[in-house]
Structure 1
Amino acid sequence: MSRCKTPASKRRRPRREGEWLTLPEAAAYTKIHRQTLRVLLLSGEIPYSRKTARPRSPYLIEREHLDSYLARVSDDCRAAAEGGA
């Protein structure tokens, strides 16, 4: 799976104002599939919080953490392209 698909200029804005996004909002913002985003959250690639301690509580992700992750991935893709050329 390639992480180099969506340039930052193509990302959508979240539907509501605020720094915290739910998983579906974060998926729409980053254009990363919800399940892939969930794997990234659970692996620790992107920090997250839960609304409550209950197991089915919604994931909450800070927009800043998403932007930071996307910048890291973009840098990795740029470095790979420069190294492979």
Structure 2
Amino acid sequence: MGLDEQGLIMSMHTLNELAIFRARLLRDQQQIDRSVTEASISQLNETIISRPATTPDEGIAKLELARDIAAAKGKAKIVKLIEGALLVLRH
């Protein structure tokens, strides 16, 4: 990840801005160097996880990220637990 990208990530103030940037990276990863994309997504994940949620929507976004990370690591029980919590929070 270049210094410009790292500075951009650190300058984002809200979890929503970070989540949108992460989604764009995931969408566009075919057009960007895969190692750069993976490093950027990893940095974004760490930044999103470390910031506190200040609204219910941000809390849900953080849980969705945790679910995605658990799924990528093959943690089916954790995924199921998070999905149950999300189901309750969305209603």
Pairwise TM-score range, normalised by the shorter structure: under 0.3
Higher helix proportion (structure 1 or 2) = 2
- Select the structure that is richer in strand: 1
| TM-score, with structure 1 as normaliser | 0.26
TM-score by length of 2: 0.25
Higher relative contact order (CA 8 A, sep 6+): 1
